[in-house]
Amino acid sequence: MKEVRVANLGLDRTNNTPVVILRESDGERVLPIWIGPAEASAIAMELAGVKSSRPLTHDLLKQVIIGLGAELRKIIITAVKDSTYYAELHLYRGDQVIQVDARPSDSIALALRLQAPILTADELLQHTVIETTDTIESAGPSGERSSGPLDADALKTYLQNLDPEDFGKFTP
Residues 6+ apart with CB under 8 A from 119: 1, 2, 3, 4, 74, 75, 76, 77
What pLDDT score was predicted for residue 167? Answer: 40
pLDDT per residue rounded down to tens, the chain (172 residues): 999 999 989 888 788 889 999 999 998 889 999 999 999 999 999 999 998 889 899 999 999 999 999 999 999 999 999 889 999 999 999 999 999 999 999 999 999 999 999 999 989 988 764 443 333 333 333 333 334 444 555 555 555 554 444 444 555 5
Give me the phi and psi of 111, to 5 degrees please.
-60, -40
Q: Give the CATH H-level superfamily of domain 2-169.
A: Bifunctional nuclease domain (3.10.690.10)
Query: Among candidates 151, 154, 158, 157, which has minimal Cα distance to 126?
Result: 151
165: Cβ contacts below 8 Å, ≥ 6 apart: 13
Q: At what angle do helices 104-114 and 57-67 cross, to 10 degrees?
A: 60
User: Global pTM?
Assistant: 0.76
Closest CA to 11 of 152, 165, 146, 160: 165
Q: Which residues of 97-114 are buried (b: 16+ CB within 10 A; e: fewer)?
A: eeeeebbbbbbbbbbbbb
Residues in the chain, how many? Answer: 172
Q: Is residue 140 within 8 Å of 39, Cβ to Cβ? A: no
Task: Give the start-to-end residue ranges of the domains of the chain.
Answer: 2-169
